[in-house]
Structure 1
Amino acid sequence: MVTRADAELQCHCQGVTQHPEINWSLASKSAEMNCSHNKDASHTQMYWYRQRPGETMTLVVYTVFGGQPDYGKLPQTKYSAVKESSESGALTVKDLQLEDAGVYFCAVSKHSDVRGKRN
């Protein structure tokens, strides 16, 4: 399995860092990717995406510091995400298979509560 942080994307996502940049792992093993940012502590939300060759990006998991990961339609038995602090998190892909190959990357955002805020 090959995973890598997309260098062009990182240029546009200032303050967000992924490591390792390239991750080679054997079939049936696990691969862990880490993400951190140096933005302010209000950036508590982290999104992990996967892009397979020739396909569009797919959201793998959404995490928020202090909350439970949301894997959407993807199996939690395949992925494990942790958000240790508002500044860092990790994604693990378990039982690697050929179809897990692709570009994985994270994005962070602030929590936005628009309730009661009208023009």
Structure 2
Amino acid sequence: MLLKIHCQDVIQDPTISWRLKSESTEMKCSHKKDVSHTQMYWYRQRPGETMTLVVYTAFGGQLDYGENLQSKYSAVKDAIETGALTVKDLQPDDSGVYFCAVSKHSDVRKYNS
């Protein structure tokens, strides 16, 4: 059974995903906010750990995987209102809560003083 999460106009599908080791899983995210919300963030939280950013995406911009491997994650942001994250070659260490957030601006870019 697949469920959707609704949180302040952000919808994530599926809520729960069970896959076998070595398979891949895709999570989709959409929002009903205005068109200025072009940034999308994908986070993961493992049991007993703090939340970490997996990838930052922006419509019309480049993806920022930070320290994460592109061989493990694949993200797309092909429309302002939608995006998706794929976790490849699933291993037990990949389990956790994954969720998306949207924003009008980027909080992950680093600026040099």
Q: Which amino acid aligns with 2:40?
A: M
- Cα distance in 2, alignment partners of residues 89 and 26 from structure 1: 24
Query: Whose radius of gyration is greater, 1 or 2?
Result: 1
Deviations 1:44-64 (Å, cap 9, x if unpaired)?
Answer: 000000000110000000000
- Cα distance in 1, alignment partners of residues 63 and 72 from structure 2: 13
Which among 25, 44, 55 is matched to residue 50 of structure 1? Answer: 44
Q: TM-score, length-normalised on structure 2?
A: 0.87
* Percent of residue pairs identical: 72
Q: Does 1:37 align with 2:40?
A: no
Q: C-alpha displacement at 1:86, in angstroms? A: 0.6
List structure 1 runs of 4+ shifted beyond 6 angstroms.
Answer: none
- Cα distance in 2, alignment partners of residues 68 and 97 from structure 1: 27
Task: Quote the residue 1:116 is aligned against.
Answer: none
Q: C-alpha displacement at 1:111, in angstroms? A: 2.6
Deviations 1:38-87 (Å, cap 9, x if unpaired)?
Answer: 00010000000000011000000000001121000011110000001010
Task: Quote the residue 1:65 is aligned against.
Answer: 59
Q: C-alpha displacement at 1:101, in angstroms? A: 0.2
Q: TM-score, length-normalised on structure 1?
A: 0.83
Q: Does 1:79 align with 2:46?
A: no
Q: Does 1:16 align with 2:10?
A: yes
Alignment of 1:95-110 (within 5 A): 95-110=89-104
Listed as ranges, the gaps of 5+ residues in structure 2 are: 107-113
Report which of the two has the higher share of helix.
1
- Cα distance in 2, alignment partners of residues 19 and 78 from structure 1: 20
Listed as ranges, the gaps of 5+ residues in structure 1 are: 113-119
- Cα distance in 2, alignment partners of residues 22 and 104 from structure 1: 10
